[in-house]
Chains A and B, each alone.
Chain A
Amino acid sequence: DGGITQSPKYLFRKEGQNVTLSCEQNLNHDAMYWYRQDPGQGLRLIYYSQIVNDFQKGDIAEGYSVSREKKESFPLTVTSAQKNPTAFYLCASSLGTSADTQYFGPGTRLTVL
């Protein structure tokens, strides 16, 4: 079964702690993306990666970090510098061509206690 998996589905963390969200895809896609979704708002791009070992900041990268050591994996770390980290986080991937479409994982809901 091809697709995108995100884990865990729900995540709780205390203020001041870093936490890492997992995103894995077996679609052989070159490009991967992290979005943040807040209630009543559209998705906002945090980071994206067009190829292994390369990634770029999106619109709201402050307080987040990523790595892309393998094609299949694009983990997102929410650091203690992120002022308001409670949100729904969505990972997506695409072929990386100009005509491709993005496919999304099921999401991780992060709550800071």
Chain B
Amino acid sequence: GEDVEQSLFLSVREGDSSVINCTYTDSSSTYLYWYKQEPGAGLQLLTYIFSNMDMKQDQRLTVLLNKKDKHLSLRIADTQTGDSAIYFCAEKTDSWGKLQFGAGTQVVVTP
């Protein structure tokens, strides 16, 4: 079955780049997503990438997709304290829209 894995924790200094990694197992994934969750809040869509793309850049965010290794990463440039949150990777495998989520990576930004 499908499985999405992420490292659980990342600590980064303010101003540095953060890289959050994700691996998935379903080669039929069509879209892959990154969501951000702040404490006590819902999920905010950050960005997504279509499976036939290798890279997508959106301001401070860069998504890299390696389909051969089923590896997805999110790079946040110039990380700020407001970037402290839990980041979820998710893959869409069914045509109607079902998402499979990873357990989330807690990112802590230190001054």
Contact = CB atoms under 8 A, between A and B. Distances in A.
B4 interface: yes
Contact of A96 (B40, B96, B99, B104): B96
Interface in A18-75: 31, 40-45, 48, 50, 58
Contacts of B97: 31, 48, 94, 96, 98, 100, 102
Contact of A40 (B43, B45, B101, B103): B103
A40 B99 CA distance: 18
B104 A42 contact: yes
B44 A45 contact: no
B88 A42 contact: yes
Contacts of A40: 8, 103-104
Contact of A43 (B30, B45, B88): B88
Which of A102, A106, A109 has the most chain B CB within a 10 Å cutoff?
A: A102
B43 to A, nearest CB: 4
Q: On chain B, which size bracket covers the interface?
A: 20 to 34
Given A94-B97, A106-B42, A107-B41, A42 B102 contact: yes
Please tell me the size bucket of the interface on A.
20 to 34
Given A42-B88, A101-B48, A106 B99 contact: no
A103 B45 contact: yes
A105 B42 contact: yes
A100 B99 CA distance: 11
Interface of A: 4, 6, 31, 40-45, 48, 50, 58, 90, 92, 94, 96, 98-107, 109
26 contacts: A4-B42, A6-B42, A31-B97, A40-B8, A40-B104, A42-B88, A42-B102, A42-B104, A43-B88, A43-B101, A44-B101, A48-B98, A58-B98, A90-B42, A92-B43, A96-B96, A98-B95, A100-B97, A101-B31, A102-B97, A102-B99, A104-B35, A104-B44, A106-B41, A106-B42, A107-B41
